[in-house]
Amino acid sequence: MLQKLPPVSSVVAEHVAPFILPSPERPLAPPLLRLEGVSAGYDETPILKHLNLRLDLDDRIGLLGVNGAGKSTFAKLVAGALKPQSGEFTRSARLKVGWFHQHQIEALNPKDTPLDIIRTVMPEASEASRRARLAQYGLGHQKVETTVDSLSGGERARLLLNLVALEAPHLLILDEPTNHLDIDSRRALLDALNEYEGAVILITHDRSLMELVADRLWLASDGTIAPFDGDMDDYAKFVIDRAKQAGKAPTQVRAAEPVEVPKPPPPPKTKVPTGTARRRAESAEAALARATAAVTELDKALTDPKVFSEDPAKAAELGRKREQAQVALEKAEQEWLDAVEAYEAVKVDA
């Protein structure tokens, strides 16, 4: 009877190349960085003030804040691409920093190949060594001589993420590292970060990555960066509370007309469409409530022991629906947080 059974096709799992983030060989004496009363900005205009922070080798920092709050400015400062305007900034002379950000992807020459790019990073290595390293990054022989404009966004991001860590830096600064990565690649990046033994500053809207990597949170807000006492749920509440407060602020009150007119009136300021952003935030909050209620209802059904004993098929179906509902909940939660952050940013510009 076994011989008469039809052959079963084997399932071939698609291999996802790991990220290679080598840990620093020689740890530095703490702290890696110390900022005391530091200000930083551009053209003598400070973006961040009163920075009093310390970073050690084992720190995993999640940097929170709405767009425009100064997160990228802080990344440039820490990476050494921006000098402080004032204050005391202590930084080890032997500190090696690996810095990944989206502008690196945009700045790639579209006619370069991965082999051209790695030649500049590994000028003294043999061609075979370069090709072998690219293969470790998940770029096989059919990709190494493909031009950048023919690579996917995920392939470009994977290449650059591995290259910024090539020299085993003491500190990795990752600014939105998962924007172009699929689910399996995000998991591979998480595994690599958990094995990496240096310090990490993570800037991301990927809540799950933030929760699984960061052990401390810093918040960029009100022109400074300071430790945030709370978790991602507390941050979500902070953002929505700030948005609600901004919505109540009397931003449209007109000043009294002066008796004399010393100067011609300034050109009218473009009105910021806060209503659209507010409605989007409210809609996202309602969707989040519905998704939460759906998960709660399924959890309640799955706690009934009769479901499993009397109708196993129904129990299995409920389990599948619970998984789908959880995915929908996580998506709704992220959309809600993005909408509220966008609303707060619009209110700041109003």
Count of beta carbons in the 10 Å neighbourhood of residue 18? 16
Q: Are 75 and 174 in contact (CB under 8 A)?
A: no
Q: Which residue do the tokens 């990944």 mark?
A: 100
Task: Give the per-residue pLDDT at 297.
Answer: 80
Q: Are 55 and 23 in contact (CB under 8 A)?
A: no
Helices 114-121 and 127-136, axial angle in degrees (round to 10) = 110
226, two tokens: 């300071």
List the pLDDT tens digit at each of the 350 positions of the chain. Answer: 777 776 655 544 456 788 999 999 888 888 999 999 999 999 888 999 999 999 998 899 999 998 888 999 999 999 999 999 999 999 888 999 999 998 888 888 989 999 999 999 899 899 999 999 999 888 888 888 899 989 888 889 999 999 999 999 999 999 999 888 888 889 999 999 999 999 999 999 888 899 999 999 999 999 999 999 999 889 988 887 877 776 654 443 344 444 444 555 555 544 445 567 667 777 777 787 788 778 778 777 766 666 666 777 777 787 788 778 888 877 877 787 777 777 666 655 55
Let me know if 132 is exposed, middle or buried by CB neighbors in 10 A (0-12, 13-18, 19+).
exposed
pTM above 0.85, yes or no: no
Closest residue by Cα to residue 333 from 218, 155, 202, 207: 207
Task: Give the per-residue pLDDT at 304.
Answer: 66
